[in-house]
Structure 1
């Protein structure tokens, strides 16, 4: 059994993935047994070949799995899980990240072993200039979406921690960003892992919430450990991504709060984006999807084509 199985997803950004792999290998101690599984989410063939060449040069230190279809964040990570050896912990790491702290994975493992009530933890995220970047967030809810985070943090500071504060000790939070999630493998497996109905957003919030609800285990930020995240490098911003975010959010609300609260939030967004669309016409597409009930069938997941090239595994 290995200590940590690291899972990385590549989608047309092999340069970031290669740097991420090298960063993990460079900053890992021999005290820790690790494996790295890279899932290529049906990238363009040249990007995949570039990644494959580098991994071949690592002489078996990294396993590469090529999906025939872009299956998204949650399903991509779950595909990676299927190729992992038996392990004590999973480290789900975005490909556009770099390890900063020496022996980061070993230190996270030590923290988890000393805190059996914790299921998920993460280092502090930094930007490419090593400046502070928000790493924690509050579980999504009608209150958060309508009243907004700053007001909730002001009114209920114990429940809604200040996301923009630089903490100096391990801190219990609602959830941490999905760019670096260190998770107890047994707990993760027992709740069924990531919800693969979610294509791009809210997977980390959903899994942390389920671990809290089903396993009574917590999520922690470990601020003395750090990593760099080139945020957004692997996801372009456009109206389709905005639509995907709202579809995922409404799915999440229905799943965790029920039909009534889902409808309240849906009607709020219909009202809000009607007026937004008058000023910014590109939002009419989102408005009409909301008006139709914002079904998850409108997700980008349903628009991914299957690559006829044979799936390749290294």
Structure 2
């Protein structure tokens, strides 16, 4: 059995993926008990060809690439990686726009979870490309978080909502960590069924950590003794289309974890909010329209993907 199976998704950003893979290999020269699985999420032929050629040139037996014929999104792409992984003790879900910068990162995280059986998920501290602080932890979405906002909750309820914008000098229990680097025990991941592939983009990591906590009692921690670099959203360009996907995922997540009434309260709040926003910024009318029609999963980008 392997210690760690690292799963990376590529979508039309092969340069980032190649550098990410190289950074993992470089910082684990003396650790051979891991594998790297790269899932190409139906990138263009040109991008995939470049990626495939570069990976083959690395001539690393622990590295393989699998191409999906359709864009499966974040959760679906990672689940395809899991299906093609070897038996392992841990999964490391690593965004392709990251760089591993510290020696034996995988080994250090393995040891941390080996020594703390109550923890199922952890992450190093995230930094930006200039090695400046980036928030790694976050709080479960709720009506309170969406309406009152994070800053209010962190200021008045710090015990439950730790400050996201702070360096910590010891491991910290959190609700969830960012999906750019999630290190997870394979047993707990499998027990809850892995990522919810109904979510195409956004809220996958929050949903997963919440289900693991609810079903197994295992917690999520920030492990700040090591760090990694994350280039923000290299493969996702912000647009109204992406904002619509964000709200679709949020409303699905809310209905799933809080029920019908919370879902109705949230969608009513969002409709009122974006009604006024659209009057000032007309570009938000498409977002308001999709909210008025329910922002269902049938409106998700997942339903618009083609087979290549």
TM range (shorter): over 0.9
Report what 1:270 is aligned to.
271
1:197 alignment partner in structure 2 = 198
The answer for the alignment partner of 2:237 in structure 1 is: 236
Q: Distance in 2 between matches of 1:126 and 1:159?
A: 24
Partner of 1:225: 226
1:42 is the counterpart of 2:61: no
Match of 2:103 in 1: 102
Q: Provide the C-alpha distance between the structure 1 equivalents of 2:151 and 2:30, rounded to a whole number of angstroms.
A: 43
Q: Is contact 2:75–2:200 with CA below 8 Å preserved after alignment?
A: yes
After superposition, the C-alpha distances for 1:71-106 in whole angstroms (9 at most, x for unaligned) are 100000000001000000000000000012211110
| Deviation of the 1:32 alpha carbon | 5.3
Normalising by structure 1, what TM-score?
Answer: 0.97
Q: Are 2:31 and 2:104, in contact at CA under 8 Å, matched by a contact in 1?
A: no
**What is the aligned partner in structure 2 of residue 8 from structure 1?**
8
Q: Say yes or no: does 1:55 pair with 2:55.
A: yes
Partner of 1:80: 81
Distance 1:117 1:35 in 2: 25
State the distance in 2 between where 1:206 and 1:196 align: 11
Q: Structure 2 length normalisation: TM-score? A: 0.99
Alignment of 1:16-165 (within 5 A): 16-31=16-31, 33-59=33-59, 60-165=61-166
The CA distance in 2 between the partners of 1:125 and 1:199, in whole Å, is 23
Residues 137-176 of structure 1 deviation map (CA, whole Å, 9 limit, x = unaligned):
0000000000000100111100000000110101100000
| Structure 1 unaligned spans of 5+ | 308-314
Contact 1:122–1:220 (Cα < 8 Å) also in 2 = yes
**Counterpart-to-counterpart distance in 2, 1:32 and 1:212:** 31
Match for residue 257 of structure 1? 258
Q: Which residue of 1 aligns with 2:293?
A: 292
d(CA) in 1 for partners of 2:145, 2:102: 33
Conserved 8 A contact 1:32-1:106? no
Q: Check 1:214–1:107 CA distance in 2 against 1; reply closer, same or farther (3 A cut).
A: same
State the SS of the aligned residue for 1:57. helix
Q: Within 2, Cα distance between the matches of 1:53 and 1:31? A: 24
Moved more, 285-294 or 58-67: 58-67
Residue 61 of structure 1 deviates from its aligned partner by 3.0
Shift of 1:29: 4.8
Question: Deviations along 1:88-130, whole A, 9 cap, x unmatched?
Answer: 0000000000012211110000000000000000000000000
Structure 2, unpaired ranges of 5+: none
Between the aligned partners of 1:74 and 1:247, the Cα distance in structure 2 is: 15
